[in-house]
Amino acid sequence: MSTFQITIDETGETFPCHAESSVLEGMFKLGRREIPLGCRGGACGVCRIEVLAGDFRKKAMSRAHVDAADEKAGRVLACRIFPMSDLKLKVSGPIKRSLLAPAKDSCTHFFAAQQRGD
Amino acid sequence: MALVGVMRPGHAQIRVLDLEEGIHFYRDVLGLVETGRDTQGRVYFKCWDERDHNSLIIRQADRAGIDFFAFKVLDKATLDKLDADLRAYGLKTERIPAGDLLETGERVRFEIPSGHLIELYADKTCVGNGLDMVNPRPWNANSERGIAPIRFDHGLLYGPNIAAVQKIFTEVLGFFLVERVLTPDGKGNVAIWLSCSHKVHDIAFVEHAEPGKLHHCSFLLESWEEVLRAGDIMSMNKVPIDIGPTRHGITRGCTIYAWDPSGNRFETYMGGYQPYPDYQTLTWTFDELGPGLDYPQRKLHETFLTVVS
């Protein structure tokens, strides 16, 4: 099975990812607890990334989070893309906050913010 | 007869991003029984021990989530009365003709202030559970295939205005409030569990800015060992698990939450308790939401609280 190197542009960090694994699964295998996993099925939008370089295949992802222009521009969900070459990614959305600056606020604060619609 | 009015959750229609993956998951992994497909491409399932034709319908769409959640009412007269009561309360209702859903009678549909479509109906074809009506066996092959829950038990929906939703369910539809979680200031509720029966919940709501969201559909198992077996089957099939196996403080349900291949959360659970309509509502304070959610670990799980479809 082919394995490719995925590079996170902001940090320069790399991790290996099998062609049959989603990029999110590949990230998860780093064992980094701060990487948020959401539904892992393309519905919730938590793992939104931008692919800056490289080829991948993709499965359907919710139009509630990725519109056609996003998809064309490589702004996709990490749980629904599978590498076909080495990839360079920019992380964005909730995943960025967690990956680049682990949130200091508690889940309680997070939940309360959700209630307020922040 | 004591149980009248709204009897139970009857069906939910869920959107999936890939129909074939959805069929494989709901039929072969969750172990529901496929009962039909319609001209719109929708696929119908029921739990093995349910007798009515369908309780879960899936359709392919470009976004995941829930189309509508329905309750079965006692009879046609009840349906007409509740329709009139909802209109008198100030809600708009719509009649969906019999046969729009396979083997299902006329439905009364209305939107509640959380942005969800709720339906009531009185008739659905009884196709049986595969066991005899005279001198029945206790189970059959369908009860052993996949996770194989016995019934579609309840749903949890996320949306705004749950205080107004609670009033509709309690004042018009005859539900009672079983448990609730208070807001941080203690003046309102962030979450409510409502029953129309002898169950600890038939539907639940969490206050959330975005309307019409699905947190989970829940399927009932008969024992804690079956919940653990469900966890094994999920892992064997690489089904992503959100939390569990664990027990909730709220409702005392013993549970696993996981996601279908399109990111719609579902629950396999057993337990809880059996409240009657005179039950005094249990209250959880916001600071004790951790044990309310996960009693052994006393832990707030961010994904459980915030990820919806």
* Cβ–Cβ below 8 Å for B65 and A36: no
Dump pLDDT digits (tens) for A66-83: 999 999 999 999 999 999
* Cβ–Cβ below 8 Å for B289 and A111: yes
Q: Which residue has the higher pLDDT, B91 or A96?
A: B91
Dump pLDDT digits (tens) for B211-224: 999 999 999 999 99
Minimum Cα–Cα distance from B266: chain A residue:
A39
Return d(Cα B241, Cα A63) in angstroms, integer: 23
CA B114, B169, B153, B20 dihedral sign is: negative
Dump pLDDT digits (tens) for B107-159: 999 999 999 999 999 999 999 999 999 999 999 999 999 999 999 999 999 99
Is residue A103 less than 8 Å (CB to CB) from chain B? no
Nearest to B18 among A59, A64, A108 (CB): A59
Q: Which CATH architecture has domain A3-116?
A: Roll (3.10)
- State how beta strands B282-284 and B176-182 pair: parallel
CB B147, CB B31: distance < 8 Å: yes
Q: What is the set of domains in chain B, with CATH numbers?
A: 6-144 (3.10.180.10), 151-306 (3.10.180.10)
Is residue B305 less than 8 Å (CB to CB) from chain A? yes
Dump pLDDT digits (tens) for B68-85: 999 999 999 999 999 999
ipTM of the complex, rounded to two decimals: 0.86
What ranges do the domains of chain A cover?
A: 3-116
Is residue B300 less than 8 Å (CB to CB) from chain A? yes
Q: In A, which residues are within 8 Å of B286 by CB distance?
A: 108
Minimum Cα–Cα distance from A118: chain B residue:
B209
Distances (CA, A) of B84 to B75, B79, B88, B95, B173: 14, 9, 6, 12, 11
**Helix H or strand E encompassing B21:** helix B19-23
